[in-house]
Structure formats: C-alpha cells, structure tokens
Amino acid sequence: MASFSLRLKLRSPPWTPPKIAPASRAKKNKNNGPALKNPLQLVTIYAGSKPDAKSVVVHKDFACHYSPVFKAAFNSSFVEGQTQEYRVDEEDEEVIRLLVHWLYTQQLDVHRAAEEAQIDMDEVARKEELCLVKLWVLADKILIPQLQNMTLDVLDERRVKSKAVMDSKCLAYICANTSKDSGLRRWVVHRCAFRLESSSFLKHP
C-alpha cells in the first residue's frame, strides 16, 4: 500500500485519494480479463452466514481470477472447496450485487438503486455511499485492490461534488470495520480536514 504524509496544507490543491497497491492495477486491454475455460464450473457466494442468507451464482473462473481469497477457498480441501460455496462477511444484498457486477464488467453500477427507487434522492445518495463504503471493506477482505481503487475513486468524486459532510452511518461503519492505517480511513480524514475552515485548526490543533 502506498504511503503518504498526513500533513495538510491549508488552501492546497484538491487532494488525490490514496491508491491500494497501484503497481498491481491492471492495464486496460483485452488480455487482462479471465479466460472462461470452464463455463460450466459455477460457485455460490452467500451474503452473510445466516441459514436464509441470499446467494448468487457466478462463474468460478471470474471469481478466482480477481480474488486470491476466492481462488484459495474454492480450490482447497476445506468446506468451501468441497461445496464450492463461500459466505462473505457482508449481508447487504446490494453490496454483493455490485461485487458480482464488477467481477463481470469491471464497472460499478451504483446508480441503479436511484433509478428504481421512488424515495427522497438525498436518502438514495446516502444509501449508495454507505453501499460503496461496504463494498470497499468487502474488497479489502477478499483482496481485490482494483475494486478498492475504483470504489474510492467514485467516493471521492461524490465528495468533491457534494457540499455536505459524509453521513454519520458511513463514518461509524468505517471506524468499526477498518484498521487505523486503512486507506479508506485516511481518505476520510483528508476529506474532512479539507472541508474544515482554517479557524477549526486554530481551535483544535
């Protein structure tokens, strides 16, 4: 993970979010995608550990190509390898949908909920942002830095456009599910500091 200083300069140019293992980021060409050598080999990913957890079936080649965690699990002698089933530590079905959509397209379909929902758009935006935060945490657990980078790019773009601070639910989830040196935490610190007035630093040095 790239390291950077936490020293902030007032009135500095717009900050660029940290990247997760940039050296491993794939180049945009047709040879980077998984080869579908075994189209009939499917694996099941469950949203959480509850008996009635929702599940989604994906091609094993895709899951194993992007996640070394999936690759190790589905090719092991453990229960995941025997059943070809894996339970992720995330119960939000929308997060799992975003994960699977990315596995097949390398794109984030974050606007579908807003298009389908007939509720307050601000509430939709908050839910989408929380979903993205959960997706980053999940991608961290299953070791997909490309997905982490893309998710953080989308989050940062939204923060730049929005004048409001990040929702408290997002902040609470980040604090509860990431380590102190997490790239996501550092991004939140920088974004919050960037929004503060200079007087805030004088009052709370």
Output the tens digit of pLDDT for each of the chain's 205 residues. Answer: 444 444 434 344 455 555 555 444 444 445 577 888 889 999 999 999 999 999 999 999 999 999 999 999 999 999 999 999 999 999 999 999 999 999 999 999 887 655 555 566 778 888 899 999 999 999 999 999 999 999 999 999 988 887 677 888 999 999 999 998 999 999 998 887 776 655 554 554 4
Angle of helix 183-195 relative to helix 145-161, nearest 10 degrees, comes to 10
pLDDT for position 167: 86
pLDDT value for 11:
45
- Full-model pTM: 0.78
Q: Are 164 and 117 in contact (CB under 8 A)?
A: no
pLDDT at 185: 94
In the chain the domains, ranked by start, together with CATH numbers, are: 39-203 (3.30.710.10)
Judging by DSSP bridges, how do beta strands 85-88 and 42-47 pair with one another?
Answer: parallel
CA 81 to chain centre: 25
pLDDT at 8: 39
CA angle 177, 183, 184 (to 5 degrees): 50
| Nearest CA-CA partner of 193 in 4, 47, 9 | 9
* pLDDT at residue number 80: 97
